[in-house]
Chain A
Amino acid sequence: MAINNIIIERWHNSDIVLLGGSAGAFKLLFRVIKCLSPDLGKTVIIIIHRKRNFLSEMEKLFAKNATMKLNEITDKEPVKKNTIYIAPANYHILIEKSGHFSLDVSEDVWYSKPSIDVAFESAADVYKDRCTAILFSGANQDGAQGLLQLRNNGSLTIVQHPKDAEMTHMPQAAINIGAAEYILRTEEIFELLEMG
């Protein structure tokens, strides 16, 4: 499946880009951060599974390499364009209709906090067809249900081709329940992201 004009048009109409991943997604997301143009005109939100208690160097590493502004999400922070937001460890993230983030410390979902499902489901409520969501490599099925909800609400949903994913469980789970509108090869995903 290659990138077609419909995908491109919907990408351009998206105000918000959601990126989810777990095991095997770090390097990819690092590359994403490097390639995104600082005046993309969209909000980018990254939810990657991470271990609690360890102040990871991830934000620092990401911030150093991003050309777009990059923040770890704090409670009630306004959702702004041309900013990359990273979900903090040991919190779920939710998006409010009023245009800001809320955090949540409730039960883990699929053994994960932040959970990709929780973030995706709340974004589905707010952004509908003004959203592009991409699910990358991972070793559990978090994200699949949320991606399905996004798809049902009109968002553009893309899953990394399991052939390219280091861990296939996460993308495959999304494909299995029909959450993936498009299954793209890694290089095709980057082609889209680099369109600006």
Chain B
Amino acid sequence: MGSRINFPDLAFGVLLIAIGLVAWILIADLPVGTATSMGPGYVPRGLALLIGAFGVVQCARAFAAARVPLPSTALRPLLLVGASVAVFALLLRTAGLALTAAAVVIVAGFAAYDVRLRENLLLAVGLAVFAVLLFVIGLGLPIPIWPQ
């Protein structure tokens, strides 16, 4: 990879082109109308075109720039924070708030490099109790506390 490419700019440009393309395909069937009476497709089409054009310019400029590597991304926090959110989405309806909250905290806790097991478990229990007390009992949100 000795090339002179600005990789962050290139990645952003590719994302823009992808968004423009997907949007264009999704709105292909919508009536465009005229400038006087615009259909539902008029403005989104214009935007999709503009976004795509910006993407192309970004990509072109990325190739003409000095080399910039993609910044390194710490995968562990990203994956585990993401996983904890997914756990919440998957468990809440069946497991109830108490168990879900504890599970979210445990999974999220491991996203930190300096996680301590006992502290994390205590935190999970504490936050689960707190969440149930505050949100279900205090604020009255319609969330089941225990598994259905």
Partners in one complex: no
- B residues with a Cβ closer than 8 A to A are none
- A residues with a Cβ closer than 8 A to B are none
